[in-house]
Amino acid sequence: MSNGLLDIRNLRIALNGNKDQQVVKGLNLSIEPGQTMCLVGESGSGKSLSALATMGLLPPVLSPIAGSIKLKGEELLGASPARMRELRATSMSMIFQEPMTALNPVARVGQQIEEVLEFHTNLSQSARRKRVMEMMEGVHLPDVEKMYRSFPHQLSGGQRQRIMIAMALVMGPQLLIADEPTTALDVTTQAQILSLIRELREQQGTAVLFITHDMGVVSEIADDVTVLKLGEVMETQNVENLLRHPQTDYTRQLLQAVPSHVPRMARAEGSKEIVLSTDKLCKTYGGGGIFTRAREVKAAQDVSIKLMKGRTLGIVGESGSGKSTVARCIMRLIDPTSGSIMVGGSDIATLKQRELKPQRKKIQIVFQDPMRSLNPRIEVGQSIIEGPLNFGVPRAKAMARARELLELVGLPASAIDRFPHQFSGGQRQRIAIARALAMEPDVLVADEAVSALDVSVQAQVLELLAELQQRLGLGILFITHDLGVAAQICDEVIVMQYGRVVEYGPAAQVLGAPQEDYTKALISAAPGRDWDFANFRPFSEAPLAP
Amino acid sequence: MLGYILQRILAAIPVMGFVALFVFLLLRLTPGDPAAIIAGDTATPAQLEAIRTSLGLNDPLFTQFFRWIGQLFQGDFGTSIISGKPVIELIAARMEPTISLALTTIVLSVAIAVPLGVIAAWKHGTLIDRFVMLLSVLGFSVPVFVIGYLMISLFSMQLGWFPVQGFKPIGDGVGKFFHTIALPTFTLTLLYIALIARITRTSMLEILGDDYVRTARAKGLPESRVLMRHALRNCSVPIITVIGIGLALIISGVVVTESVFNLPGLGRLTVDAVLARDYPVIQAVILLASLIYVVINLLIDIAYVILDPRIRYA
């Protein structure tokens, strides 16, 4: 067992070297040459820290206090900084989640790759440049001469991640550590990057330690899987076995929480009352400046939607599709260029701020990142009652209502005078929902509201939304990039691309039997679409529906 | 790029226009009669009236203003009421000490402060870091004249290394020039080291937590390269801003330092002119100072675009 490429034995990482504050508690992991090991876990599982420890890049407050990490038999814990620098890029490399921030914004990307060769080889400058070009072609970047001279902000997300991969593999290391490398990318780009990693692994024989929280990605790329929970290994298995026969309850729960790509059964038609509709909504940016000749960008074009009371309408699309623009126009956080927005019988598209104010009550929004959407300096109760107070509700009454709402979203009423940082991500999103509900809206706009949450928490929040909808008759406009989530929560789905509506219809039809090529491409790019994770089998083996 | 620079220069014109108007009104609206100052205490009303007419003070304000602007464009900044010399000559004579002091101070400050700030951030929380912070608090809080007199007392009076005061232009020999400019430079440098080291440390601390610094380390680069090429380069915008503002501040008036070391610079000229109500000189000096600010700001903006490709020209 000890002749693997990478052998991690009983690794313990602790905060401030204090053994009572362990964040990784005895990790064992072994990777053979050319193999892909997925390290799976939710936030706080210690998966990224284990990877950083291997690279010797842990932040100073965290340190390994026990165990061993051996690369090709060489102990890395306690190796000199100079030796670690030698090993990085030549024997082991790492790519990260967000390629935009992982690249130096003020240096040309070609030079950033070349820098690796500069420090690890004796190649002449022209030889280095040649090697960089080859590598950039190897990761299928177009027009490499031009690309070499580009800055990171001039590239797309997928191109940036390709640059990162080229940089990581230019020295041909035997181990590539990939920390959520596709999480920040669109689904079609994600599919391309995954296939690139597979291809390079086969070409170069690189072993991959692939860190992810996404079971779909796991099913696409893993040979073996190690499941981590709060710093402890739950189980290590071959991927097929893990998906079919998980050994621990935790893995089972993790799999069952993955939203299936098969749309849920359509709900019986409910109310015919339209709570929100838009007609030919358009939003155009840029153009028409005196000094600037900015290109006109049509962020949303002729978007017409209809949302009934008690129903959920999903808008899905990749980044830049205009789905968030539509949500923000509807909220009047930005002003639409043309078209109408009917909320409860009045057109709010062109109302002035003063006239708009009474209408705002009817439509509320929950944002993606609950870490940033709640003011960190004020207590959650204050955040919740701020809206009602503005509409003249007496403070005592608003506070009483806030307590009820916290209980409604599954938090103790005593949470009311605590601060946001005292809650977990999922709890914060519950608070954000309570805040929105405090206004007693007819429509709730959820803009990627579960995207930043772990999959088990995501499932709970989706359940909460469904329950609140039943109880309060809310119309929900649900913006998401995740087709699985859309399939599980939406009655109707709109697919958007480049600011236009591509397909619009009942969820079962759009996601189950798509008509448009773009929708089909989106669905076929979704990782793990063939797996029915919750039932531990591929869809192909599912018993036929009655 | 050229279009951007042109656009920025065009944008500076209204700024200078407003400054000119302000300076002009300052003179006309403050109590006191230039004619009375020129004529002296014994002048008769008829003499005063004659002087006013000759200075054009009886014309409508806007006529005076445009006449003055017209003169400015011909390089005529007027004549000093006190010395009778053309203002432009007075200023030209005072430029060299001030510009010399500004440049030596900024160059020395940057050379010391940037490495200090980088090291402090890199060794965050250690003794070195605390030492740099202490130095920077001292530099901020001890008044310049105190430092100046301490320097004179130590290096001039006791050790006899440098002259107590005075200035030798660079034309008299580089050695003599540095010999006289050294103490004022050291004195002022302490303040600017404090300022620049602090901003460097703060920006570096922020940048060192960024992902691309981690990437640079993951590439196996030596720390020196990580710090200089990847971290410091990304801090250059705030650092350049502070350096630019510092430079403008020194050129437009280091009154205290020039007084302490008896340097015949612009700061001294300004103080003397204000005390003597020498309006043409005051006007010219204020205009010049604004122009320096505008030019330095323009240079800073251009530097941004060169240093950070993400900043667009528009």
Apex CA B264: angle with CA B260 and CA B270, to 5°?
A: 90
Mean pLDDT of chain A: 89
Nearest-CA residue of chain A relative to B310?
A153
Contact A104 B314 (CB under 8 A): no
Cβ under 8 Å to B: A residues 92-151 = 93-94, 96, 98, 101-107, 115-116, 119-120, 151
pLDDT score for B275: 82
The CA distance from A86 to the nearest CA of chain B, in Å, is 6
H/E run at residue A358: helix A353-360
| Mean pLDDT calculated for residue range A534-543 | 85
Contact B219 A167 (CB under 8 A): yes
* A176 to A170, A200, B215: CA distances (angstroms): 11, 10, 13
Q: What ipTM score was computed for the predicted complex, to two decimals?
A: 0.81
Q: pLDDT tens for residues A517-533? A: 999 999 999 888 888 89
Residue B175 touches chain A, beta carbons under 8 Å: no
CB A40 within 8 A of CB A210: no
Confirm or reject CATH 1.10.3720.10 for domain B87-307, answering yes or no.
Answer: yes
Check residues A12 and B78 and name the one with the higher pLDDT. Answer: A12
Look-up of token digits 């001890």: B142
| Mean pLDDT calculated for residue range A257-283 | 85
Q: Is the pLDDT of residue A68 over 50?
A: yes
As a whole number of angstroms, the distance between CA B244 and CA B246 comes to 5
pLDDT score for A289: 52
Cβ under 8 Å to A: B residues 4-33 = 7
Predicted confidence band of residue A170 (pLDDT cuts 50, 70, 90): very high
Predicted confidence band of residue A306 (pLDDT cuts 50, 70, 90): very high
The pair of structure tokens assigned to A16 is 């401030």
Q: Is the pLDDT of residue B279 over 50?
A: yes
Predicted confidence band of residue A1 (pLDDT cuts 50, 70, 90): very low
Q: How many CB atoms lie within 10 A of CB A416?
A: 21
| Mean pLDDT calculated for residue range A144-163 | 91
Q: pLDDT tens for residues A194-204? A: 999 999 999 88
Of B218, B225, B307, the CB nearest to A94: B218
Burial B193-205 (b: 16+ CB within 10 A, else e): bbbbbbbbbebbb
Nearest-CA residue of chain B relative to A113?
B219
Q: Is the pLDDT of residue B314 over 80?
A: no
Mean pLDDT of chain B: 86
Burial A273-282 (b: 16+ CB within 10 A, else e): ebbbbbbebb
Check residues A277 and B173 and name the one with the higher pLDDT. Answer: A277
Look-up of token digits 């922020």: B206
Look-up of token digits 């991500």: A425
For the four alpha carbons of A111, A112, A113 and A116, in that order, the dihedral sign comes to positive
Contact B212 A105 (CB under 8 A): yes
B30: DSSP letter: S
User: Per mean pLDDT, which range of A61-70, A293-302, A434-443 is the poorest?
Assistant: A293-302
Contact A115 B307 (CB under 8 A): no
Of A106, A164, A291, the CB nearest to B309: A106
From the list A370, A374, A400, A375, the residue with the least C-alpha distance to A388 is A400
Contact B222 A85 (CB under 8 A): yes
Residue A71 touches chain B, beta carbons under 8 Å: no
| Mean pLDDT calculated for residue range B275-289 | 84
Q: Where are the alpha helices (DSSP H) in chain B?
A: 2-29, 34-39, 45-55, 61-73, 87-122, 127-141, 144-151, 174-208, 211-218, 223-225, 233-251, 255-260, 266-275, 279-307
Contact A88 B308 (CB under 8 A): no
From the list A158, A169, A87, A146, the residue with the least C-alpha distance to A120 is A87
Q: Considering chain B, what percentage of its residues have pLDDT values greater than 70?
A: 97
Q: What's the farthest any 2 CA atoms get from each other in chain A?
A: 75
| Mean pLDDT calculated for residue range B294-298 | 89
As a whole number of angstroms, the distance between CA A432 and CA A465 comes to 12
pLDDT score for B5: 80
Contact A106 B222 (CB under 8 A): no
Predicted confidence band of residue A409 (pLDDT cuts 50, 70, 90): confident
Contact B310 A89 (CB under 8 A): no
The CA distance from A444 to the nearest CA of chain B, in Å, is 35
pTM of the model: 0.83
Q: pLDDT tens for residues B186-242? A: 989 999 999 999 999 999 999 998 999 999 999 999 999 999 989 999 999 999 999
For the four alpha carbons of B163, B167, B173 and B175, in that order, the dihedral sign comes to positive
The CA distance from A387 to the nearest CA of chain B, in Å, is 35
Q: pLDDT tens for residues A179-196? A: 999 888 888 889 999 999
Q: How many CB atoms lie within 10 A of CB A541?
A: 10
Burial A442-451 (b: 16+ CB within 10 A, else e): bbbbbbbbbb
Q: What amino acid occupies position B285?
A: V
Nearest-CA residue of chain A relative to B3?
A291
pLDDT score for A544: 62
Long-range contacts of A328-335 (CB under 8 A, 24+ apart): A328/A447, A329/A278, A329/A281, A329/A283, A329/A300, A330/A276, A330/A278, A330/A281, A330/A363, A330/A445, A330/A477, A331/A363, A331/A365, A331/A445, A332/A356, A332/A360, A333/A365, A334/A283
pLDDT score for A243: 93
Question: In CATH, what number does A274-541 get?
Answer: 3.40.50.300
Residue A83 touches chain B, beta carbons under 8 Å: no
As a whole number of angstroms, the distance between CA A51 and CA B181 comes to 56
Residues of A in contact with B306 (CB under 8 A): none
pLDDT score for B193: 93
Contact B230 A107 (CB under 8 A): yes
Q: Considering chain B, what percentage of its residues have pLDDT values greater than 90?
A: 26
Between A and B, how many CB-CB pairs are < 8 A?
A: 77
pLDDT score for A69: 95
From the list B290, B276, B133, the residue with the least C-alpha distance to B201 is B133
Long-range contacts of A42-45 (CB under 8 A, 24+ apart): A42/A213, A42/A229, A42/A254, A42/A454, A42/A455, A42/A456, A42/A457, A43/A213, A43/A425, A43/A454, A44/A230, A45/A228, A45/A229, A45/A230, A45/A231
pLDDT score for A546: 45
Residues of B in contact with A167 (CB under 8 A): 215, 219
Contact B233 A107 (CB under 8 A): yes
Residues of A in contact with B233 (CB under 8 A): 104, 106-107
For the four alpha carbons of A388, A389, A392 and A393, in that order, the dihedral sign comes to positive
As a whole number of angstroms, the distance between CA A282 and CA B10 comes to 36
Predicted confidence band of residue B76 (pLDDT cuts 50, 70, 90): confident
Give domain limits for chain B: 87-307
Q: pLDDT tens for residues A74-107? A: 999 989 999 999 999 999 999 998 888 999 999 9
pLDDT score for A127: 95
CB A281 within 8 A of CB A336: yes
Q: pLDDT tens for residues A348-398? A: 888 888 888 888 889 999 998 888 888 988 999 999 999 999 998 999 999
For the four alpha carbons of A395, A401, A405 and A411, in that order, the dihedral sign comes to positive
Q: Is the pLDDT of residue B244 over 70?
A: yes
| Mean pLDDT calculated for residue range A438-463 | 88
Burial A516-525 (b: 16+ CB within 10 A, else e): eebbeebbeb
Decide: helix, strand or coil at residue A288: coil
Give domain limits for chain A: 274-541
As a whole number of angstroms, the distance between CA A370 and CA B107 comes to 47
Which residue, among B122, B213, B215, would best test binding to A if mutated, counting the most A CBs under 10 Å from its CB?
Answer: B215
